[in-house]
Structure 1
Amino acid sequence: MTLHIRTFEWGDWDAVAGLWEAAGSSVLPRAEVEGTLGRTPELFLVAVDANGVVAGVVLGTYDGRRGFILRLAVDPGRRRQGIGRELVAALETRLRALGCPRINLFVLPDNPSGLRFWQSMGYLPVPDVVHTKPL
């Protein structure tokens, strides 16, 4: 089945939220997504099949110095079909067009399949220590 990758539209929200839940991720608060879209709306992509069903989603951002992949999810019933790879490639293309020199992302160490996926896409682990503080 052919997929079309395009920029997220608010009409996709329920499908994207459902996909995040089905993939085992928490649903980001709408206000947080609105804030991200206010800066880089072209970096929130959905993969839609011929029937208009959202099969995958990737959310990226760019701060003018580094790109970040904040979240990638593919419908669990459609994994291992290249959807995630296509979404990441499309996001990389858009980040490159913005002049982004590097993309960062976080993968939890208890996610070996995620680690393998990202390494197969050329993303390498770095020994940086991550610090965070909720506000």
Structure 2
Amino acid sequence: MRVREFAWPDYDDVAALWTGTGRDVLSRAELTAKLARDPQLFLVAEVAEAVVGVVLGTYDGRRGMILRLAVAPAHRRGGVATALVAELERRFAALECPRVNLLVLPKDAAALRFWQALGYVPQPDVLCSKPLSG
């Protein structure tokens, strides 16, 4: 397995992975804006040149955020997610990022266990969200 930075030829494979794991697909326009800021924080994992995992992180100069982590079902429990997160954390550290946050849906007990095993601690924060477009 190899973890590397996302490149545009990966887009269709990443979109298919997101779709196959029940996540919304980010548009090319949305990713273009993200990549203008911190392209080194969008990573893919590949096995035999096939994209099998993806993690999307961002850094605002104060906090890092892990926005999306997805692994193809056939490659789960094989260390792909852990490798992606480890590389993303290494890149956050290189940016001198002091803390990384992420959101886990309350009903996703398996995801919560995964993140806790990597040292992420649940916080009693309240998530507030407001869509700014139609």
Using the size of structure 1 for normalisation, the TM-score is 0.95
Once the two structures are TM-superposed, the CA of residue 48 in structure 1 deviates from its matched residue by: 1.1
Partners in 2 of 1:34 and 1:111 — Cα distance? 30
In the alignment, is residue 78 of structure 1 matched against residue 78 of structure 2? Answer: no
Alignment match, 1:88: 85
Partners in 2 of 1:14 and 1:95 — Cα distance? 26
**How many correspondences in the alignment?**
132
Structure 1 window deviating more from structure 2 (57-66 vs 123-132): it is 123-132
Partners in 2 of 1:28 and 1:109 — Cα distance? 23
Alignment of 1:3-82 (within 5 A): 3-49=1-47, 51-82=48-79
Once the two structures are TM-superposed, the CA of residue 28 in structure 1 deviates from its matched residue by: 1.4
Question: What letter is aligned with 1:57?
Answer: V
Long gaps (5+) in structure 1: none
Question: What letter is aligned with 1:21?
Answer: T
Question: What letter is aligned with 1:26?
Answer: D
- CA RMSD of the aligned region, Å? 0.7
Alignment of 1:91-130 (within 5 A): 91-130=88-127
Once the two structures are TM-superposed, the CA of residue 62 in structure 1 deviates from its matched residue by: 0.2
Partners in 1 of 2:124 and 2:31 — Cα distance? 29
Question: What letter is aligned with 2:40?
Answer: E
Once the two structures are TM-superposed, the CA of residue 85 in structure 1 deviates from its matched residue by: 0.1
Long gaps (5+) in structure 2: none
The runs of at least 4 consecutive aligned structure 1 residues that moved more than 3 Å come to none
Counting aligned pairs with the same residue, the percent is 58
